[in-house]
Amino acid sequence: MMKPPFDHTIGSPMPLGVYLQQGGINFTLFSRNATRVFLLLFDNAEDSKPSQVVELDPNHYRTGDIWHVFVKGACLGQIYAFKVEGPHEPGQGHLFCPNAILLDPYASAVASPQPWNFIRCCDLEHATAEQSAAGMAKSLVIHNGFDWEDDRRLKRQWPELVIYETHVKGFTIHPSAAGSNPGTFLGFIEKISYLQELGVNAVELMPLQEFNPQELTAKNPFTKEPLVNYWGYNTVGFFAPHDGYGTRRYPGCQVDEFKTLVKALHKAGIEVLLDVVFNHTAEGNQTGPTLSFRGLDNSIYYLLEEDKKYYKNYSGCGNTLNCNHPVVRNFILDCLRYWVVEMHVDGFRFDLASILGRDRSGHLTPNPPLLEQIAEDPILREVKLIAEAWDAGGAYLVGRFPGERWSEWNGHYRDDIRRFWRGEQAMAGILANRLCGSADLYDHSGKAPVNSINFITCHDGFTLNDLVSFHHKHNLANAEENRDGCDYNFSSNYGVEGPTENEAINRIRLKQKKNMLATLFLSRGIPMLLGGDEFGRTQHGNNNAYCQDNEISWFDWGLLERNRELFQFVQGLIAFRKFNQVLSLERFYRKDEIVWFSSQGLPPRWEVESCLGCRIHAGTNGDGGLCLLFNPTTQCVDFALPSLPRDRVWLKAIDTNAPMGEDISPEGRGMSLSGYSNFQVMDHSLIVLTLGKRG
């Protein structure tokens, strides 16, 4: 029996999106250049025909650029979409299409059919309304009520942060995870105790705002399996958690389940940082699908070329959001506030963030209004802001990203630490800069070490295991003939490309992993660990696994036991950093706090040195602290140790050449070097000494 249609009235232009009120739902939508707008109400996500179409008469249902209607009797669980008519004038940037079924940009949940259907822009004019609606994702009305149990953002201070970057699905989807809800928000909760055991206190989650995994058309040339958008860097619904990370127990459950994850992480003392993508959308270039923004007001939401049929492409993904248009700016701010207020997240990492500093012509600006508004917004004032300070249009703003509140992924740190430990010449001075917080990059603009997010590896590139196992990328499974992914990895295979049974090669690979990880946790700035590096996760040489939703990308938890030595070493490094707070102070070292020396104990010749040592003074009388000895060469090197008062002695706390159980003492109570004036540091090794009392 067909249910009677809903009655409707004019409604209110605010707030944007949907608003549940007594007796019904208020719907609003922005479109400046539209001539007609239709609200489509569906009974099911898979339906090709709406159960009711409500036309919004512009004489009554439009206030300024906002179209609005109140639907009486509509309630939670209502599935809806929009159709928008207007000029189809590609040369003027207008791509309105009456057949396109459009998502609400403010929808807090998306009803995602399995699989998704989408029709590319060039085919829409030939499609019927039923063809474009069948299998198309639609918006879903949910409630925002949730029992947070007095949950609050943790507000950890920057210097204490240890970030763990990971993927929601990949973290638990492998059979070895042995969880009850693999690959979901709830499944992630089952691994929180592991994160606590490791010692991290923040997770940076790769994109979890709604995206279409089935958007790719290529197949793996070896397995013939379809490739998928695994990483999720093509956002469809900016307010909506990804439906695929929910259990699908009921429509919209992904929202409650994400909140449940956040609450559980907070209870465990772990902050939640979201990787967000505001530089482009999933609609691609002029041949891409029309999902939302293109069909709502293309000329406002995107940066267009002089020939407005085409998009400026600073993202490398086909289009670029017009981030500093006031309408788009407000949309981004509304979205960030939503994730903070409704979802309780602690901060954001902004993908290709330099795009957020481009003006409406695409030029970089010195004081971008959007970046300033995000930093100064009253709701966002205390959340953590992290920028990937570059884009595909040639901008590289590491050390120069506008605004003191913004921390940055320090790409220089990643490359320089790799190059130093690979044995490149004349890298000692660069190592010193990176270890001390990259003052050469940040001090000139009044920033501090905490503005530097230090990392050796991240999702984009080799894992740490692969960094020391492959000289070249091996991306053929991506169906791009190995053209994709970075060619400049500063990696080494130490004699054999890929896995080997050669014990000598495996030993040096393990040492190099320990060396780079130790350097990371000894450096001022904020350490970020790529999830799985602590137990040797491999992608088999693929350095761009964006399309690999399989064992290339998934966490194989069986590696944890097989590589227990590396895990315990990383666990010890995190504890050592927390115990020695001098390593994580918010400011740069003063000259009297750190003294650098060559292996002979002399002032370094920065332009030629390979081996390097330093003494870090932590005591009020200059007699406390640490001694760090770096040997990236293929030879053993004798280091002259800094002299000590008679009642003090050096204790060996970290030795990357030593076997499991002897390689790290988190509280610095290792072997005494009493009587030593020199100490031999083995090839490819790092030694850390702490100061103890003699006897």
Catalytic residues: 351, 388
Amino acid at 581: Q
Q: How far is CA 58 from its chain centroid?
A: 41
Q: Pick from 62, 81, 107: which is nearest to 236 by CA?
A: 107
| The token pair that represents 356 in the structure block | 């957020």
Beta bridge partners of 687: 629, 655
Q: What is the rounded CA–CA span in Å between residue 221 and residue 216? A: 14
- Rounded CA gap, 542 and 463, in Å? 9
Instruction: Read off the tokens for 400.
Output: 């120069």
The neighbouring-strand residues paired with 70 are: 9, 26
652 and 589 in contact (C-beta within 8 Å)? no
Length of the chain: 695
Q: How far apart are CA 192 and CA 190, in angstroms?
A: 6
CB distance 29 to 54 below 8 Å: no
> Using only C-alpha atoms, what is the Rg of the chain?
27
Q: Where are any strands of DSSP class E within 356-491?
A: 384-387, 406-409, 452-455
Q: Where are the alpha helices (DSSP H) in 289-325?
A: 293-301
Are the CB atoms for 540 and 552 separated by under 8 Å? yes
Q: How far apart are CA 610 and CA 444, in angstroms?
A: 27
Residues 6+ apart with CB under 8 A from 502: 495, 496
Number of other CB atoms surrounding residue 370 within 10 Å? 23
Dist. CA 558–CA 37, nearest whole Å: 54
Name 521's bridge partners. none
- 81 neighbors 105 (Cβ within 8 angstroms): no
Phi, psi (degrees; rounded to nearest 5) at 420: -60, -50
Q: Give the Cβ contact number of residue 406 at 10 Å.
A: 20
Q: What are phi and psi of 177, to 5 degrees?
A: -70, -25
Residue 544 burial by CB count (10 A; 0-12/13-18/19+): exposed, middle or buried?
buried
**Phi, psi for 13 (deg, rounded to 5):** -75, -5
Q: Classify burial at 536, counting beta carbons within 10 Å of its beta carbon; exposed 0-12, middle 13-18, buried 19 or more.
A: buried
Asked if 594 and 617 count as a contact pair (C-beta separation under 8 A), the reply is yes
Evaluate the omega torsion of the peptide bond into residue 15 and state whether it is cis, within 30 degrees of 0: yes
Strand partners, 111: 138
Which of 628, 670, 613, 623 is CA-nearest to residue 643? 623
